[in-house]
Every structure is written in C-alpha cells, then in structure tokens.
Amino acid sequence: MNADISQVSAIGGSAPGRFIAGESLPVLSRHVTQRMIDDYAKASGDFNPIHVDPDFARNGPFGRTIAHGLMTLAFAAQMLNAWTNGAFDESGEIDVTFIAPVFADDLLEITGTVEEIFEREGKPAARVRLMCRVGDRQILAGTAIQPFEPIRKS
C-alpha cells in the first residue's frame, strides 16, 4: 500500500532505507481543473491554445483543451521530492513519454515503484518506474533515477 503524500512529506532527512527495490513511493493526487490549467499557463507563459482556448482545441486532435504535459511532469517532481526529502531537486533525473492527455476535471494520481538499485557514476541509485493514471487511463510512462548516499557502517 502506498503512503499518502502528506505522511511522507513529514519524513526528515535522506533515509537510505527507503531506497530498496520493490519500495512503493507516495501517491500524489491532483484534481485538475481548467482554472488550474489557466493558472499554469500564466505561471509558465505557455498559452498554447490547445491548453487554454476551447474553440481552438475543439478542432484539435483531442476535441477539447488538455493540461500541459509539463504540468504533469511538475506533479511527478513534487511526488519525487516528497519521497526523497528534496534530493530529487539536487540530483534527480526523469525520463517520460506522454501517452494520453489530461483533461479538465480529471483526477490524476502519480506514484512509482523502485525497480532496481544500480550503480551510476560510482554511486548507488534507485531506478523508479513511474505510474501516472486517471482512472484506467495511463497518462505517462517512464522512469526516474535518484542517486543516494549509502549507509556506512563503522
């Protein structure tokens, strides 16, 4: 069972014990509204009409406005920072393919599972399989990588 993100954000410091293959990451949930999409457009400066202009979007590939893919990516980063207590900001990596759009009024859920621990550039790192869904609809596919400091036994 995944932890709720409000519980995980309370964990202080880097906790290497969490970097274990099979570990479930916290779940971040967002109810995406057209207002959020509009606010994100203002924050990012991305006023692509496919996001903010219903008339334009009606004739586009999805028939209505869609959320910015980078907004979904920002949610993923938020979840990963909660899991790593901010280490993702410093040394994390993410690689995703946007599979399906997020529409206004969708309830988005993002989480992940540690697939493996491997060595990268002389340091252990966790490879996370990301999961991002709206109901049964998969929104993105991809992985994140988070290097971490191993526990040193004296």
Positions that interact with other proteins (CB under 8 A): 9, 30, 36, 39-40, 42-46, 48-50, 56, 60-61, 68-71, 73-75, 77-78, 81-82, 86, 88-98
- Residue 100 beta carbon to other proteins: minimum distance, rounded to whole angstroms: 11
> Coil, helix or strand for 68?
coil
* Least distance between other proteins and beta carbon 55 (Å): 13
Sign of CA dihedral 48, 52, 69, 6: positive
Q: d(Cα 109, Cα 133) in Å, to the nearest integer?
A: 5
Name the minimum Å distance from CB 70 to other proteins.
4
CB-nearer residue toward other proteins: 80 or 114:
80
Provide, rounded to whole angstroms, the least separation between the CB of residue 16 and other proteins: 19
Burial 78-104 (b: 16+ CB within 10 A, else e): bbbbbbbbebbeeebebebebebbbbb
Q: Which is nearer to other proteins, 16 or 49 (CB)?
A: 49
Is 145 in contact with 53 (CB distance < 8 Å)?
Answer: no
